[in-house]
């Protein structure tokens, strides 16, 4: 079941503006192969956030084949990006795409489990040889969002942003009636717990948006 009115969606998508032809071609290729990349409306929302914020350092959890990574690099012309992908095939494909866009020097693509890599990054930050990230994008295993969010919060500064994608799980976070097959009960339960959790966290001000497949935007607070 599609919870988004398809007529409205089609109308909005008509006004979607790709960054450039090459990125649009990569989107079409990914969509053709059913690789789950950010939706057009999510990309539009992120464009507004990124253009007004101009982050210098970005961390992404869930690279897939690098579509969103390349989009970030394009829209924030000076930024450096660290992106994490655990699937080796996707990682190799991402390296190829990043290189085809000439972005090897600005993108550090890491292959491995995000929680393990985040733990290493937190350690490096404690040892003070890693600068904090200005913008963190979480778009990986939905059942791990709480752990990703809690730990990447340590990797940003006051005022830094953490955006999580797909938090509405095609509407089923709001109502289980949208989980027609009943196969996503665990993910739904975990996502609801995650949203309840971040809404009560003092360390950030969090907004829940229905754009795309649902996004949370958390702004880290100064607690001192």
Going by the DSSP 8-state scheme, the letter that residue 203 receives in this structure is T
User: Shortest distance, CB of residue 146 to ligand SAM, whole angstroms?
Assistant: 13
Instruction: Give every CB contact of residue 135 below 8 A, 6+ residues apart in sequence.
Output: 49, 50, 53, 55, 57, 58, 59, 156, 160, 161, 163
Could you say which residues in the range 92-111 bind ligand SAM, by CB under 6 A?
none
Nearer to ligand SAM, 19 or 199 (CB): 19
The minimum distance between CB 89 and ligand SAM, in angstroms, equals: 9
DSSP states of 47-104 as a string? HHHHHHH--SEEEEE--TTSHHHHHHHHHSTT-EEEEEE--HHHHHHHHHHHHHTT-T
Q: By rule CB under 6 A, what count of residues binds ligand SAM?
A: 18
d(CA 47, CA 57) in angstroms, rounded, equals 16
Of 50, 58, 62, 168, the residue at the interface with ligand SAM (CB under 6 A) is: 62
Contact between 38 and ligand SAM per CB under 6 A: yes
Strand order in the sheet with 57-61: 107-111, 80-85, 57-61, 133-138, 156-165, 215-220, 204-209
Residue nearest to ligand SAM (CB): 62
Rounded Cα–Cα distance for residues 9 and 217 (Å): 22
Task: Rank residues 134 and 139 by Cβ distance to ligand SAM and give the closer one.
Answer: 139
Site residues (CB under 6 A) for ligand SAM, limited to 124-183: 139-141, 144
**Pairing assessment for the beta strands 80-85 and 107-111 based on DSSP bridges:** parallel
Determine the interface stretch with ligand SAM among 61-69, 127-135, 198-206, 207-215 (rule: CB under 6 A): 61-69
Residues contacting 26, CB < 8 A, separation 6+: 67, 70, 97
| Options 26, 46, 68, 190; binder of ligand SAM; rule CB under 6 A | 68
Closest separation in Å from C-beta 4 to ligand SAM? 18
Span interacting with ligand SAM, options 48-56, 79-87, 153-161, 211-219, rule CB under 6 A:
79-87
Smallest gap from Cβ 36 to ligand SAM, in A, equals 4
Which H or E run contains 92? helix 88-100
Taking CB under 6 A as the criterion, the residue among 90, 176, 201, 210 binding ligand SAM is 90
Q: Which residues are near ligand SAM by CB under 6 A?
A: 36-38, 62, 64, 67-68, 84-87, 90, 113-114, 139-141, 144
């Amino acid at each position: 079941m599609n919870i988004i009115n398809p007529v409205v969606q089609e109308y909005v998508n008509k006004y979607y503006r790709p960054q450039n032809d090459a990125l649009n071609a990569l989107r079409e290729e990914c969509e053709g192969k059913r690789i789950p990349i950010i939706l057009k409306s999510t990309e539009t929302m992120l464009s507004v956030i990124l253009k007004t914020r101009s982050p210098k350092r970005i961390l992404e959890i869930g690279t897939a084949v690098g579509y969103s990574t390349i989009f970030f690099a394009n829209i924030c012309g000076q930024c450096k990006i660290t992106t994490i992908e655990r699937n080796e095939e996707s990682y190799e494909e991402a390296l190829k795409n990043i290189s085809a866009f000439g972005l090897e020097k600005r993108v550090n693509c890491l292959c491995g489990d995000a929680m393990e890599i985040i733990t290493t990054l937190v350690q490096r930050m404690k040892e003070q040889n890693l600068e904090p990230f200005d913008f963190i994008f979480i778009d990986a295993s939905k059942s791990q969002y709480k752990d990703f969010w809690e730990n990447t919060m340590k990797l940003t500064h006051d005022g830094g942003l953490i955006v999580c994608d797909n938090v509405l799980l095609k509407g089923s976070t709001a109502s289980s009636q949208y989980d027609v097959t009943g196969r996503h009960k665990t993910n739904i339960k975990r996502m609801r717990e995650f949203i309840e959790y971040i809404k009560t966290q003092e360390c950030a001000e969090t907004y829940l948006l229905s754009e795309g497949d649902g996004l949370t935007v958390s702004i880290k607070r100064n607690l001192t």
